[in-house]
Chains A and B, each alone.
Chain A
């Protein structure tokens, strides 16, 4: 049996989402078919607005509402513009904001260096970061890319790029998770925690 085109195209589109396979895609499509109209309509609306009503902040490249040049954080007078935290994705900003412990500003790279996937420095917001630092107001740059091979490489690359500007560059500490059990920590983490130990 061939499905009507409208259903099949929805299934195809859903299948392209990360974490969704062919089965989940058809289940979602048929669920929407049976569900009250307002669910699919509000979903459709949300999807169209997703692209039209959002934009990237022209300073930190975090996501913000369309029509605005700068995001809330960049506009805020309470935030310390001398400290900038560099993250890979907008979601990382969200995670750091939840801590409530950071009062500086952000810069979202929108990815990491990954030659296998063809992502080089020009594909990231690195030039824009260097331009921000070149203005001279930033005193400290915190490199908060993920502690992965690619995240580390990106951090190293940024360090090289920022060196000429004499800005203080730091890297997020790495080590044991809170509430973690030393015994069950994986060796890699433990090794890094050991080499990054601090005076008390």
Chain B
């Protein structure tokens, strides 16, 4: 799929932006803090309905401009082609006053002019984004890795997003009950109804994660092999907090990089094992007042030649791995959905040496649309920048660069 038109109103630095986008490589050139990354962020937002960099979406609304008009509204509209048909996604971010000084951000999502829930629209427009600060996926907290994997799977499988939000809801209820039981006591059997919900939804999430991580790993290790000139082997080790296939006892010294084959598991089996484990842990969980196992505690590790990158990876290694991962995600989405996602690469050339730059361009060249940002057009090979569309980004405005 590819974008045909993007329109932004009061989104970060842009008061108003209307862009016709061609179906090919596009390079956004400009100094720092001119709005290049914001364009990529906006496009990604239309795919994931959340930003890659903030948990508080309200920062994206251009306060200053929006406040001149009484209502704080930021509007993002994308017209895109998926397969043979044209579609339009519109997101409105509305700041509403609440309480004494508070503000609340309301999101409205329209697909082809019809208002919808995020869960029903996710997966219609797909994008993969690479931003250097995303290295937190490798060296940040496990939360970052879960967020990454959640966003990736949601784009290819909308049912995953729904299961995840239901799971969160059941988890909050269960934790509240565990806390109440630990503080005031009461009938412990009440837990069983929430156990059922957690185990049912959790099993589905675990199974989907197993499947996705395995597929992405396969693709990522191939890309990584290329990008590192066959010097590094990349592995993605999924470590579910409730592990349907726990390491055999007596082998605690099992090496981290020993692959565990979790394929061929059945969702009913996982659910059954998960339920039993919850019953086994019941007393401990009541004492602690929280749910200690389940997808909300899963971990994902990135291993290069058997070394955990989160702990021992060098900066360069982490950047390359992140790029391998992102390129793998692109191919994975193409395999799963039959459509190329729009690729968004922020300052990626500066991170790579000459040879890898060529590798990268070769990889993304297969897809339908790629948007790069850069401070320096010279980082791109001459023939590449000549054949692609180059835009100047200056102080919140974008113009076609004369070549």
Residues of chain A having any CB pair with chain B under 8 Å = 113-116, 118, 120-121, 149-150, 152-154, 156-157, 160, 184, 186-188, 191
Are A149 and B192 CB-contacts (below 8 A) given A118-B180, A186-B120, A188-B162? no
Seed contacts A116-B173, A186-B119, A188-B162; 13 additional CB < 8 Å A-B pairs: A115-B176, A115-B177, A115-B180, A116-B176, A120-B180, A149-B173, A149-B197, A152-B197, A153-B194, A154-B193, A157-B192, A160-B189, A187-B162
B193 touches A115 (CB 8 A): no
A191 touches B159 (CB 8 A): yes
B193 touches A157 (CB 8 A): yes
B166 touches A149 (CB 8 A): yes
A153 touches B173 (CB 8 A): yes
CA distance A102 to B400 in the complex (A): 69
**Does chain A have a CB within 8 A of B132?**
no
B396 to nearest A CB, angstroms?
A: 36
A131 to nearest B CB, angstroms?
A: 17
Chain A residue numbers with a CB within 8 Å of B116 are 186
CA distance A156 to B180 in the complex (A): 20
B186 touches A120 (CB 8 A): yes
**Does chain A have a CB within 8 A of B261?**
no
Interface size class of B (residues with CB under 8 A): 20 to 34
CA distance A156 to B189 in the complex (A): 12
B172 touches A116 (CB 8 A): yes
Are A115 and B174 CB-contacts (below 8 A) given A156-B196, A157-B190? yes
Chain A residue numbers with a CB within 8 Å of B117 are 186
B208 to nearest A CB, angstroms?
A: 15
B190 touches A113 (CB 8 A): yes
Query: Which of B120, B186, B193, B197 has its CB near the most chain A CB atoms (within 10 A)?
Result: B193
**Does chain A have a CB within 8 A of B383?**
no
User: Which residue of A114, A153, A187, A188 is within 8 Å of B197 (Cβ)?
Assistant: A153
B192 touches A160 (CB 8 A): yes
B119 touches A188 (CB 8 A): yes
**Pairs across A and B, CB under 8 Å, 24 listed:** A115-B173, A115-B177, A115-B180, A115-B194, A116-B176, A118-B176, A120-B187, A120-B190, A121-B190, A149-B169, A149-B170, A150-B173, A153-B194, A153-B196, A156-B192, A156-B196, A157-B192, A160-B192, A160-B193, A186-B117, A186-B119, A187-B120, A187-B158, A191-B159
User: Chain A at the B interface: mostly helix, strand, loop or mixed?
Assistant: helix
Chain A residue numbers with a CB within 8 Å of B192 are 156-157, 160
B53 to nearest A CB, angstroms?
A: 28
Smallest CB-CB separation from A150: which chain B residue?
Answer: B173
Chain A residue numbers with a CB within 8 Å of B174 are 115
User: Chain B at the A interface: mostly helix, strand, loop or mixed?
Assistant: helix
Would you give the 0/1 interface string for B167-210, flagging 1 where the beta carbon is closer than 8 Å to chain A? Answer: 00110111011001000001101101110110000000000000
Chain B residue numbers with a CB within 8 Å of A184 are 114
CA distance A116 to B194 in the complex (A): 12
List the count of A-B residue pairs having beta carbons below 8 Å apart.
57
A146 to nearest B CB, angstroms?
A: 14
CA distance A200 to B170 in the complex (A): 35
Chain A residue numbers with a CB within 8 Å of B120 are 186-187
Query: Which of A153, A157, A160, A184 has its CB near the most chain B CB atoms (within 10 A)?
Result: A153
Chain B residue numbers with a CB within 8 Å of A187 are 119-120, 158-159, 162
List residues 328-376 of chain B with CB under 8 A from any CB of chain A: none
A42 to nearest B CB, angstroms?
A: 35
CA distance A157 to B196 in the complex (A): 10
Smallest CB-CB separation from A184: which chain B residue?
Answer: B114
List residues 380-402 of chain B with CB under 8 A from any CB of chain A: none
User: Which residue of B176, B187, B196 is within 8 Å of A121 (Cβ)?
Assistant: B187
Smallest CB-CB separation from A158: which chain B residue?
Answer: B193
CA distance A65 to B158 in the complex (A): 49
CA distance A118 to B181 in the complex (A): 11
Chain B residue numbers with a CB within 8 Å of A149 are 166, 169-170, 173, 197
Smallest CB-CB separation from A157: which chain B residue?
Answer: B193
A188 to nearest B CB, angstroms?
A: 6
Chain B residue numbers with a CB within 8 Å of A120 are 177, 180, 186-187, 190
A90 to nearest B CB, angstroms?
A: 24
Smallest CB-CB separation from A114: which chain B residue?
Answer: B173
Smallest CB-CB separation from A190: which chain B residue?
Answer: B120
Chain B residue numbers with a CB within 8 Å of A154 are 193
B341 to nearest A CB, angstroms?
A: 20
CA distance A114 to B170 in the complex (A): 10
CA distance A115 to B177 in the complex (A): 5
Smallest CB-CB separation from A148: which chain B residue?
Answer: B169
Smallest CB-CB separation from B201: which chain A residue?
Answer: A149
B162 touches A153 (CB 8 A): no
A175 to nearest B CB, angstroms?
A: 17
B227 to nearest A CB, angstroms?
A: 37
Smallest CB-CB separation from B189: which chain A residue?
Answer: A160
CA distance A6 to B319 in the complex (A): 67
A86 to nearest B CB, angstroms?
A: 15
B193 touches A113 (CB 8 A): yes
CA distance A188 to B161 in the complex (A): 11
CA distance A116 to B159 in the complex (A): 25
B157 to nearest A CB, angstroms?
A: 11
3 tightest A-B CB contacts, nearest first: A115-B177, A115-B176, A153-B193
CA distance A186 to B174 in the complex (A): 27
A54 to nearest B CB, angstroms?
A: 30
CA distance A69 to B194 in the complex (A): 35
Are A156 and B193 CB-contacts (below 8 A) given A187-B159, A188-B162? yes
